[in-house]
Structure 1
Amino acid sequence: MTWWLGGLVLAFAGANIHDPYMVPVRGWSLPAIVAAGLCGLLVQLRGRAQRGLRHRLLLALLWGAVPLSALGAEAVFQTRKASVLAARGPLALELGRHFIVGYRRVDEVEALAAHGLIGGLFVTRRNLAGRTAEALGAEIRHLQDIRRRAGLPPLTVTADQEGGIVSRLSPWLPHRPALSTLAGLPPDERRAAAHALGAGHGRDLSSVGVTVNFAPVLDLRHDRPRDPLDFNSRITQRAIADDPEVVAEIAAAYAAGLSEAGVRPTVKHFPGLGRAGRDTHHFRTAIRESRAELEETDWRPFRQLLADDPQALLMVGHAIVAAIDPDRPASHSRLVIDGVIRRDWGFDGPIVTDDLVMTPVYQYGLCRAVAEALNAGVDYLLVAFDGRQFYRAMACALEAGKRGELDGAMLAASRARLPQAPADADADAKVAAKPER
């Protein structure tokens, strides 16, 4: 029984060596699984017939499938990667601008940046391990130089520097407190402190070339039992307060300080993960409250800041809003993004998904999610935790584009919200300045 179980587990692991959950062992998983499979096969072929020839042959087939599953998965990944890297032309440029990717080494993204296959970067502590903030800044400048030489728009460089427990670039950059620590101050004091905190984060981030911060958090804190399986969201620890007015007031001051320092804010995580019953990194979950209740509570800070701050981006998470679209997460729901946010609220700024490298997206289907997000009016597709998943996501987008499954009007509208190449910007300026006859 042990041999059967071991073979099945290794075959499954081999077939999924490029799954995001394999990131911690990816560096050695391929050779280890291949070696284990070959050893197991050899044992079965040379072992004594304990249960007959048929039993041995079936076990040999199973253990022979172990290295084949891993090598097959590697071949699929490398083929997909090569096809994306070779992609050129208008469709590749059109779709590449929508992707923000995480990476470990700069050589992983140099070609992607040079050929317009990505629109932005996500930097975090893995980009600083064993290095200095100055080295990261030089790396980002190098990549921006590549873009300039190629005549492409500048990369949107993003980070997750909220303060408190989510300070992904600290201690290389100063560790600053969470906005929630300001909620108990008198109104004038908390506004001033929030503005100062935003300005401080802005100076820190702009010093290394970051242009967008994924902050502030606008999720409301709701009184609910702690979920023992919430390993990543931890919204109760990150939320500013339970009062929409206090959240909006502090977040607006923080966003203003951030913008004044040259870094754009991102309000997150719509539709309000304080209402989500489970951690959306790992579990599919739905928000069951009515739209009327959400508009009066969780959505008030979002709507207020998006109306008042022209610099703000909006991050949409993977919780389902059952009252609007019970069939798919908000991050790629046309009813939520184009219906509620664009049409009802009138927001025409950039929208970014939460990291697509999360279980609800993979359960739904990454290819479907990518196409639906673009057709819904999402501007940036974030692939942060495991940047190698970009090749799969981009391949999905290219295939959908070739099959005519992407909405041209939505892509055109999104293009106007994204950074433009210098030549495009000059052309637009000339058109705008052209006198009427």
Structure 2
Amino acid sequence: MSRVIGWCLGLLLVAAGANIHDPYLMAVRGWSGPVIAAAGLCGLLIVLRRGVRQRVAMLALWAAVPLAVLGAEGVFQARKAAVLSAPEAVASELGRHFMVGYERVEEVEGLAARGLIGGIFVSRRNLAGRTAEELRDEIRRLQDIRRRAGLPPLRVAADQEGGIVSKLSPWLPNRPAPSALAGMPPDERRAAARALGRDHGRDLRSLGVTINFAPVLDLRTDRAPDPLDFNSLIARRAIASDPAVVGDVAAAYADGLAETGVQPTVKHFPGLGRVGTDTHHFRAAIGDSRETLESTDWRPFRQVLAGNPQALLMVGHVILSAVDPDRPASHSHRVVDGVIRRDWGYDGLVVTDDLVMTPVYQYGLCRAVEEALNAGVDLLLLAFDGAQYYRAMACATDAARRGELHPTALAASRERLGRNSADALP
């Protein structure tokens, strides 16, 4: 029995050591590597002292634990070094597409100064133990760094939907979500939604935030809640089940945001209301026909995008089976270039949902980065675990070196990003 336990524990530690930079281990990343390596060395000493049968295999297993940690750390540091030493032309061409989250400002200062990123994502972890004024000063300092480097201002994004997703509260006022207004008479709800958008916008501008990842346009459904849905919670965030009401409220809210100089973001195309699975952790697909979606779920998206030229479109990681059954919409050429760009004629900014989510991260981050850029996605978001930026950027630079990034797609995105830069907006 002890040998079985030794083998199981050793294999578990090898797997953990090889994945110390996985997003799921982010909470323990600072100390997990040394602890796992030390546990491996302790196991190695125990095997040597006890003279376990089949000792060679057991010794190899426990010796693999610290080697797995060293290997994972070595790969991470090699990617980081390669990104930081990228030629200036590569940095400026590809860096503009990345928007990253962070915990300490030192993690992004150098990236901002060299143009290796185009934006940052802030949330309550940037405010833990601090004041809103301190975060405002930090963002201002980053923008000063960009100015001195002769670079465009950073795009600064937040998730301040209101209600249960208010990631800068209580430092900013706790305000309702647009869904709280859906039951009002049409004229009243439009006025209230616009006022709510202005309130959210003023709150965010007081910190230096320029993009709000709101409003949510997914339709509410009567589906029973999934017990494994810990993060999406679309039924609690959706404005309504009626596309007309959703479009009405969302358009007014987006206009209110834009009035304050904060860009709204409509999400999560192609619509998570039909998905019962939490796409933060699991793959999911929408099986409905395109005709059905155009007449229901997509109506609010088209309405807001047509009426608000400052609005961004966030594309989620759900598979749209009727258009591209082989990959999530967030990096599908058929969805982004085909449906959004060509069929709808939308020429604004497209941003992915967080690429650190399992449906992308665990199924091929490099593939997703390359395909998203070639599809016409403008901003690649790495919000939850900003350290994954180095892996994603290394994927992009490798693809560029191989000649697998399409110059036409990059040029079109460069023009859109320039036209919609923070210093170009009214």
The aligned counterpart of 2:413 is 414
The aligned counterpart of 2:107 is 108
Query: 1: CA distance between counterparts of 2:50 and 2:112?
Result: 53
- Counterparts of 1:333-348 in structure 2 under 5 Å? 333-348=332-347
User: Aligned letter for 2:286?
Assistant: I
CA contact (8 A) 2:225 2:276 kept: no
Once the two structures are superposed, what CA deviation does each residue of 1:94-147 show, in whole Å capped at 9, x if it has no partner? 100000000000100000000000000000000000001100000000000000
Query: 2: CA distance between counterparts of 1:189 and 1:132?
Result: 35
CA contact (8 A) 1:152 1:420 kept: no
Aligned-residue offset at 1:364: 2.6
CA contact (8 A) 1:152 1:421 kept: no
Give the secondary-structure state (helix, strand or coil) at the position aligned to 2:93. helix
Range with greater deviation from structure 2 (245-254 or 356-365): 356-365
Give the gaps of 5 or more residues in structure 2. Answer: none
Aligned-residue offset at 1:363: 3.2
The aligned counterpart of 1:213 is 212
Give the secondary-structure state (helix, strand or coil) at the position aligned to 2:82. helix
Query: 1: CA distance between counterparts of 2:400 and 2:255?
Result: 38
User: Aligned letter for 1:217?
Assistant: V
Aligned-residue offset at 1:307: 1.0
CA contact (8 A) 2:355 2:381 kept: yes
Q: 1:38 aligns with which of 33, 38, 41?
A: 41
CA contact (8 A) 2:166 2:174 kept: yes
Give the secondary-structure state (helix, strand or coil) at the position aligned to 1:418. helix
The aligned counterpart of 2:55 is 56
CA contact (8 A) 1:154 1:421 kept: no
1:360 aligns with 2:363: no
Aligned-residue offset at 1:420: 7.1
CA contact (8 A) 2:310 2:420 kept: no
Aligned-residue offset at 1:179: 1.1
Query: 1: CA distance between counterparts of 2:106 and 2:420?
Result: 23
User: Aligned letter for 2:153?
Assistant: P
Query: 1: CA distance between counterparts of 2:386 and 2:244?
Result: 37
- Counterparts of 1:9-408 in structure 2 under 5 Å? 9-49=12-52, 52=53, 55-408=54-407
Give the gaps of 5 or more residues in structure 1. Answer: 426-437
Give the secondary-structure state (helix, strand or coil) at the position aligned to 1:35. helix
CA contact (8 A) 1:120 1:157 kept: yes
Query: 2: CA distance between counterparts of 1:274 and 1:41?
Result: 51
Once the two structures are superposed, what CA deviation does each residue of 1:303-355 show, in whole Å capped at 9, x if it has no partner? 11111110100000000000000000000000000000000000000000000
Query: 2: CA distance between counterparts of 1:363 and 1:386?
Result: 14
Query: 2: CA distance between counterparts of 1:367 and 1:420?
Result: 28
Query: 2: CA distance between counterparts of 1:363 and 1:174?
Result: 36
Query: 2: CA distance between counterparts of 1:33 and 1:44?
Result: 17
Number of residue pairs aligned between Structure 1 and Structure 2:
420
CA distance change for structure 1 residues 115 and 420 in 2, over 3 Å: closer, same or farther? farther
Query: 1: CA distance between counterparts of 2:176 and 2:92?
Result: 40
The aligned counterpart of 1:429 is none
Query: 2: CA distance between counterparts of 1:332 and 1:90?
Result: 24
Once the two structures are superposed, what CA deviation does each residue of 1:10-50 show, in whole Å capped at 9, x if it has no partner? 0000000001101111111011001100000000011144x
The aligned counterpart of 1:2 is 5
Range with greater deviation from structure 2 (207-216 or 188-197): 188-197
CA contact (8 A) 1:182 1:194 kept: yes
Give the secondary-structure state (helix, strand or coil) at the position aligned to 1:109. helix
Query: 2: CA distance between counterparts of 1:79 and 1:420?
Result: 35
CA contact (8 A) 1:104 1:127 kept: yes
CA contact (8 A) 2:123 2:159 kept: yes
Give the secondary-structure state (helix, strand or coil) at the position aligned to 2:190. helix
Query: 1: CA distance between counterparts of 2:418 and 2:43?
Result: 54
Give the secondary-structure state (helix, strand or coil) at the position aligned to 1:28. helix
Q: Percent identity?
A: 72
User: Aligned letter for 1:67?
Assistant: P
Query: 1: CA distance between counterparts of 2:105 and 2:206?
Result: 18
Query: 1: CA distance between counterparts of 2:399 and 2:181?
Result: 46
CA contact (8 A) 1:218 1:248 kept: yes
Range with greater deviation from structure 2 (359-368 or 204-213): 359-368
Once the two structures are superposed, what CA deviation does each residue of 1:261-281 show, in whole Å capped at 9, x if it has no partner? 110000000000011131110
Give the secondary-structure state (helix, strand or coil) at the position aligned to 1:223. coil
Give the secondary-structure state (helix, strand or coil) at the position aligned to 2:386. coil
